[in-house]
Amino acid sequence: MLIRTWGRIGSNGQMKLQTFSQLEEASAALNELRRQKLKRGYRAEGDIADAQFSDVAR
């Protein structure tokens, strides 16, 4: 399962939940999202930069 949240600071924002049948599929989706964000100029900082998919999968 991959949960993404976004929105303005101070608001409830939005959430998208994606489910996958295999851990490898979820890992690939997470890595693709990370790649897309970095390509658009986002920087990985703090917990996001250090997060490994295995940490999220627990």
pLDDT digits (tens, 9 = 90+) for 5-56: 889 999 999 999 999 999 999 989 988 998 998 899 988 776 555 555 554 5
User: Is residue 36 domain-resident?
Assistant: yes
Please report whether residue 30 resides in a domain. yes
Q: Is 20 exposed, middle or buried (0-12, 13-18, 19+ CB in 10 A)?
A: middle
User: Which tokens is 16 given?
Assistant: 């998208």
Indicate the number of domains in the chain: 1
Structural domain of residue 29, as residue ranges? 21-52
6 within a domain of the structure (yes/no): no
Give residue 29's pLDDT. Answer: 92
Contact 30, 58 (CB under 8 A): no
pTM higher than 0.75 for the full model? no
